């Protein structure tokens, strides 16, 4: 079935900003504010509109939206010495009136849970108590929940999610492409990295001062799962995975340059205690739909493997870089989107010659029920030589809208459904 898209122009407008400690704010007067939320210039399905609600947040990674509509954004690098920003539209015009910063550490993960704002650095998880206005009360003294997570400056984001039983699940990405330790291009068996990285660890979300060793390895064999989400409809954990690269560069006898741009697939897994995605021993081939033995572990591009590893529930073209995952539970979008999965892709596929987009996959009874489709496009802009925005984070607002963060251009987008 053909999809109808709406293409809008790209307009920017100013917002009122304050870059100070939490509690400082600048509120624009409703009488003086002549702006409406600027159009985001996105390509969306018919009936949807995209607007820009904030700019100037370079490094905006993940985000979460409070019940009052306030937006908390985690930055991958500091802005004016702050790594977390709170944004609030006080007069309902779609433009942020309040912008305050706190937290002196960069990172990716951020989520509201059980009356607390949880955030992560690249090696720890913290939490801030929220008051009735959904504002943090201990901005300068957060509780440290977990410390000592592996950080080797590569794929070191620590995104997380929560189940409904007081547990937090934290990604510890691998700092190696394929667990190589020598010049013979042969991977060690077993891969020692898997002891402390390349998977997802489970902790208590309610207990302060835990260290890495207090956690339980929940799932392994996942190179880097930046998108992680507890799906209440299935009561299970879902996670994306960035696939490995350098197949042609390291093993030109087995892989062509074209194949390096097409392999392996970017994947999404449904995970349970003891799940294994197979990294670094195997990768998933999107053309054969099989797990292939990695060349570092005896593969030649043709050998299958991974008998102890599970298949993904979804696969996408290589190098799209899935950076967040959201299962939609709102009621403001058409019925087809209910309980479906949105994925934010931060990279570009050589195979598609396209990237920097939001994809959607319909789900029914907890399983994918159709092919993936491009839901939101146009983040890159019209100039192919200069990418403007790279989607990174996804969050659902209390009004059912979806918010998207962009860590390249530092923009926060809002996508909502206005009707047929």
**Which stretch of DSSP H or E encloses residue 249?**
helix 247-250
- Residues 197-214 have a mean pLDDT of 98
Task: Give kind and range of the element (H or E) at residue 247.
Answer: helix 247-250
Model pLDDT for residues 349-377, shown as the tens digit of each residue: 999 999 999 999 999 999 999 999 999 99
pLDDT surpasses 70 at 1: no
Residue 367 near residue 313 (C-beta atoms within 8 A): yes
pTM: 0.91
Domains and CATH numbers, the chain: 5-417 (2.120.10.30)
Residue 20 has pLDDT above 90, yes or no: no
Cα(16)–Cα(342) distance, integer angstroms:
30
Instruction: Judge whether 374 and 353 are in contact, CB under 8 Å.
Output: no
DSSP 315-371: EE-TT--EEEEEE---SSS-GGGTT-EEEEEEEEETTTTEEEEEEEE-EETTEE-S-
The Cα 349–Cα 319 span in angstroms is 5
The residue to which tokens 């900003």 are assigned: 17
418, two tokens: 């206005």
The conformation of residue 380, written as its DSSP 8-state character, comes to T
Number of neighbouring beta carbons within 10 Å of residue 220: 21
Instruction: Specify the residue for token string 């696969």.
Output: 315
Query: What pLDDT score was predicted for residue 34?
Result: 43
The predicted-structure confidence for 164-187, as pLDDT tens digits, reads as follows 999 999 999 999 999 987 677 899
Sorting pLDDT into bands at 50, 70 and 90, what band is 2? very low
For 259-284, the pLDDT digits (tens) are 999 999 999 999 999 999 999 999 99
For the ranges 77-86, 95-104, 116-125, 404-413, the lowest mean pLDDT is seen at: 95-104
């Amino acid at each position: 079935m053909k999809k109808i898209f709406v293409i809008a122009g790209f307009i920017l407008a100013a917002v009122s900003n304050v870059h100070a400690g939490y509690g400082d704010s600048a509120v624009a007067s409703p009488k003086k504010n002549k702006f409406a939320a600027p159009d985001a210039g996105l390509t969306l399905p018919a009936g949807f509109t995209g607007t820009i609600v904030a700019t100037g947040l370079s490094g905006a990674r993940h985000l979460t939206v409070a019940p009052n509509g306030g937006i908390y954004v985690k930055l991958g690098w500091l802005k004016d010495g702050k790594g977390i920003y709170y944004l609030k539209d006080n007069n309902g015009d779609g433009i942020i009136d309040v912008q305050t910063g706190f937290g002196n550490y960069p990172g990716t993960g951020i989520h509201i849970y059980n009356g607390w704002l949880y955030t992560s650095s690249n090696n720890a998880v913290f939490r801030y108590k929220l008051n009735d206005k959904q504002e943090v009360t201990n901005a300068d003294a957060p509780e440290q929940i977990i410390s000592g997570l592996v950080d080797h400056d590569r794929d070191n984001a620590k995104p997380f999610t929560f189940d409904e039983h007081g547990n937090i699940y934290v990604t510890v990405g691998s700092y190696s492409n394929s667990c190589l330790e020598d010049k013979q291009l042969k991977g060690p068996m077993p891969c020692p990295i898997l002891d402390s990285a390349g998977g997802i660890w489970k902790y208590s979300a309610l207990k302060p001062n835990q260290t890495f060793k207090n956690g339980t390895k929940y799932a392994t064999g996942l190179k880097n799962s930046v998108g992680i989400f507890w799906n209440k409809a299935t009561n299970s954990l879902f996670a994306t995975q960035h696939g490995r690269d350098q197949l042609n560069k390291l093993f030109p006898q087995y892989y062509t340059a074209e194949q390096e741009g097409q392999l392996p697939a970017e994947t999404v897994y449904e995970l349970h205690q003891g799940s294994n995605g197979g990294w670094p021993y195997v990768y998933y081939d999107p053309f054969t739909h099989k797990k292939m033995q990695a060349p570092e572990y005896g593969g030649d591009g043709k050998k299958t493997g991974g008998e102890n590893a599970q298949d993904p529930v979804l696969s996408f073209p290589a190098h799209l870089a899935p950076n967040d995952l959201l299962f939609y539970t709102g009621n403001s979008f058409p019925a087809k989107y209910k309980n479906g999965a949105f994925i934010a892709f931060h990279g570009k596929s050589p195979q598609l010659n396209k990237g920097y987009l939001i994809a959607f996959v319909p789900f029914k009874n907890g399983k994918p029920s159709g092919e993936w489709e491009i839901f939101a496009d146009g983040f890159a802009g019209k100039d192919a030589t200069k990418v403007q925005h790279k989607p990174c984070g996804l969050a659902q607002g209390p009004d059912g809208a979806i918010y998207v963060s962009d860590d390249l251009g530092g923009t926060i987008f809002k996508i909502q459904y206005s009707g047929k």
